[in-house]
Chains A and B, each alone.
Chain A
Amino acid sequence: MSTQSLDSLNTAPRTTVSPGMTGRLLVRRAAGSIFVLWAALTLTFFVLHLTPGDPVTAILGGAGSSPSAETVAAVKAEYGLDQPVVLQYLTYLGNLITGDFGVSYIFKVPVTEVLGPQILPTLQLSGLALTFAWTIALAFTLLTVGRGRLLDGAGRALEVFFASLPPFWVGIMLAVVFAVILGWFPVAGDDGFASLVLPALSLALPLSGFIAQVTRSSFEEALAQPFILSARARGLSDSAVRLTHALRHAILPGLTLSAWAVGSLVSSAVVAEIIFARAGLGRSLVDAIINRDMPVTLAVVFIIAAVYIIVNLAVDLLYRVVDPRTSPTGSAA
C-alpha cells in the first residue's frame, strides 16, 4: 500500500513521519502493551486464586478422593501451594520469564508440554478463518456496493444476517450439509486441510458479516470521492476503479477490525474445536476450567491475551506508517 495516494488527501499539518519518531513511538507503544499484558496476567492470577475449592483436590483426582494429611502436605509443598499467594505470584512471574508455565494439576507434566502441540492447530484454524472472512467480505463489497438498490439492499441484509449467526450453529449446520449429507468433508478430526475447511468456515461466516459492514461504508465513502470521478473521467472501467482505487480505501478500517477479529477468533475457536473434535487451545481451556487445572487455564489466558495484544500493536503501528495522519496519542488497543 503506497502512502502517496493517502498523502494527496492529507489536510493535517504533519505529512511525514521521521524514522526517529516512529522508533520512539514503537518503543512507547510496545511498553504500553507489555504493561497491559502484565496487568491482565496479574489480574487473572489473583482472580483464579480466589476460586473456592482447594487446588489440592483437583491435583489428587477430584472431589471423590480422600487423601491423607501427609499426602496433602506433600502435594502442597511440591506445587508451592504452602507459600503465601503473593510469593506464589512472584515465583510464577519469575518462572514465566524463563518460559516456564508451571506443572499441570491434571496431567502432572509441564504446561508447555500440554499446550505446545495445541498452539499450531488453533493458529491454523484462526488464520484460515480470517482469510475466508476477508474473502467473503470483499466479495460482498465488490459485488453489491453501488450496484443498484436491489443488490445493495440484498448485500446489506445478508451482512446483518451473517453477523448475527452464532458460530456454533453455523458449524453444526455446515457439518450436517457438507459432511453428513454431501460427504465432501470429514465430520470431525484433525487430518489435513480438508478437516480444517468446515471449522474455519463456521468461524468465518459470522465474522465476514462484521467486516463487510465496515468495508461497505468506507467503500461507499471512497466511491463518492472526487478522485473516483477523475479516474472514471480518465476512461477507467468500473471494475478497474473499484479494484485499484476504491478498494484500497475500504480495506484500511477493516484492518483495525481484523486485530479485534484475531483475538475473538482465537477465543471463539473453542466452539469450532469442540463441534469438529479438533485439538487446540480453546478445547484445552474449557477442559482446564472444568477440571480446575489452574496452571493450564492461566497459560491459555496468557497466550490468547498475548496474541491479541501483539496483533493489535502490529496493526496499530502499521496503520500509523500507512496513514501518517493518525495522531500518535490515539489508542487502538
Chain B
Amino acid sequence: MSTLASPAPAAQKPSKALPAGSGARSIRLVRSTPAGVWVAGALLLFLVLAAVAPSLFLRQDPYEIDPANAFQAPGAAQLFGTDQNGRDIFSRVIAGTGQSLLLGLAATAIGLLLGGALGITAGVSGKRVDSAICRFVEILFAFPGLLLALIVIAVSGTGVVSAAVAVGIGSAPGYARMLRTQTLQVVAAPYVETALALGRPRSHILRHTIIPNVARPLFVLVTLGIGQSIVWASSLSFLGLGAQPPAAEWGAMLADGRNYLQIAWWIAAFPGLFITLAALTTTVAGHHLQRRLEAEV
C-alpha cells in the first residue's frame, strides 16, 4: 500500500525542491504557486486518501445491492445517486480509487522500466546498438495511441493485470525515446568525462553517475505519466478488455452506465469525473514540477 502514497509527495515536492531556507523564501514560494496548483494539489491529496484509506469516505458497502433504491438521482441521501442495482455510486467511485490509481502507477512503472532499459542502453552503447534500438522503437511507434496496448491485450487476454502490462508496454516507446535523449545529454556532460578521465570502471560510472542523473527528471515524467496511464487503463476497462463488472473500477463503471444514459446520466458521469480529476490533477502537478525544475537549472 505504501506505493500508493507516492503521488502525495508529488504534490508537495515543490516545497522540498528548494533548499529549506529563510521564511521569506517560503512566502515567495507560496505566492508564486498559482492557485490552480493548490486546488489540484488538494484534490490529488483527496484522491490519494481515498485510495489509501477508503473507509474515511465510504458511506455504504460499494457492492451492496438494493433493488428498491435503484436509479436514485443524486441528492442528500446518495451524493452521486444509485445505479441500476441500487448500489451507492459515491461509495463505488471511492472504492475504485485505489484500483485505478494502482493501475496507473503499475502501468507507468512497467512503461518506465521497459522504456528505461531500451533508452538508457541505447544512450550509453555504441552506434550499432543505438541505431538497432532506435529502429526497434521507431517500429513500435508505428502503432499509434492505444493500438500497441490493444495488441498486447489480444495476446495476453483481458483482465486487470493484462491491462496494466498493456498500458505499460504501450507507453514504453515514448519513455524510451525521452530517456535516450536524456542519457545522451548526461553522457556528454563534463562530470562523466571527468569520471572517465579518473579511470573509474564503466559499470561504476553507469551505476553511480549516469543512471542517477538520468533518473532525476523522471519524477516529472512519472507524475505526468500516471494521469495518462489512468486514462488508458480505464479506456481498456471501458471497452471490456480490462477490469470486468461488477468490479468497482472507474472505466468498468462508466461502461455500465453507458447503457442507462437516457434515464440515469449520473451512473456514467461520476466515475468519468473522477478519471478526469485524476488525469487533470497529476498533469497540473507534473507541469508545475517541470517549471520548478527548469527554473532551478
Binding site for B on A (CB under 8 A): 36-37, 39-40, 43-44, 47-48, 50-52, 157, 160-161, 163-169, 172-173, 175-176, 180, 187, 260, 263-264, 266-268, 270-271, 274-275, 285-286, 288-290, 292, 297, 301, 304-305, 308-309, 331, 333
Binds A, one of B68-76, B119-127, B236-244: B236-244
Do A164 and B150 form a contact, CB below 8 Å, given A47-B155, A286-B239, A286-B241? no
A267 to B151 CA separation, bound complex (whole angstroms): 12
Q: Is the CB of B265 within 8 A of A176?
A: yes
List the A side residues contacting B139 at CB < 8 Å: 36, 39-40, 43
Q: Are B276 and A165 in contact, with the CB atoms below 8 A? A: yes
Instruction: Count how many pairs of residues, one from A and one from B, have CB atoms less than 8 Å apart in the complex.
Output: 130
Q: A40 contacts B142, CB within 8 Å?
A: yes
Q: Which of B20-28, B194-202, B227-235 lies at the interface with chain A? A: B227-235
A36 to B137, CA, bound (A): 10
Asked whether B254 is an interface residue with its Cβ less than 8 Å from the other chain, the reply is yes
Report B's interface with A, CB cutoff 8 A.
36, 135, 138-139, 141-147, 150-151, 153-155, 157-158, 227, 231, 234-235, 238-241, 254, 257-258, 261-262, 265, 268-269, 272-273, 275-276, 279-280, 283-284, 287
- A-B residue pairs, 3 tightest by C-beta: A263-B144, A169-B272, A264-B145
B145 contacts which of A40, A44, A157, A267 (Cβ < 8 Å)? A267
A63 CB to closest chain B CB (Å) equals: 12
Q: Which chain A residues lie closer than 8 Å to B283 at the CB level?
A: 160, 163-164
- Of chain A, the residue at the smallest CB distance from B239 is A286
Which residue of the partner chain, among A166, A176, A289, contacts B261 with CB atoms under 8 Å? A176
A169 contacts which chain B residues (CB < 8 A)? 254, 272-273, 275-276
Provide the residues of chain A in CB contact with B238, threshold 8 Å. Answer: 168, 271, 274
The prevalent SS among residues of A at the interface is helix
Q: List 27 A-B contacts (CB under 8 A).
A: A36-B138, A37-B142, A39-B142, A40-B143, A157-B36, A164-B276, A166-B231, A166-B276, A168-B235, A169-B272, A172-B254, A176-B269, A180-B261, A180-B262, A180-B265, A187-B261, A264-B144, A264-B146, A267-B144, A270-B150, A270-B239, A286-B150, A286-B239, A290-B240, A304-B143, A308-B144, A309-B142
- Complex: chain A residue closest to B152, CB-CB: A47
A304 pairs with B239, CB closer than 8 A: no
Contacts of A187 in B (CB 8 A): 261-262
A271→B146 CA distance, assembly (Å): 10
Give complex CA distance A187, B273 in Å: 20
Query: How far, in angstroms, from A267 to B143 measured CA to CA in the complex?
Result: 9
Alpha-carbon distance A44/B153, docked complex (angstroms)? 12
Q: Is the CB of A44 within 8 A of B276?
A: no
Q: In the assembled complex, which residues on chain B have CB atoms less than 8 Å from the CB atom of A274?
A: 238-239
Q: Which of B144, B261, B283: most chain A Cβ within 10 A?
A: B144
User: Closest CB of chain B to A281's CB: distance in Å?
Assistant: 11
Instruction: Find out whether the CB atom of B147 lies under 8 angstroms from the CB atom of A289.
Output: no
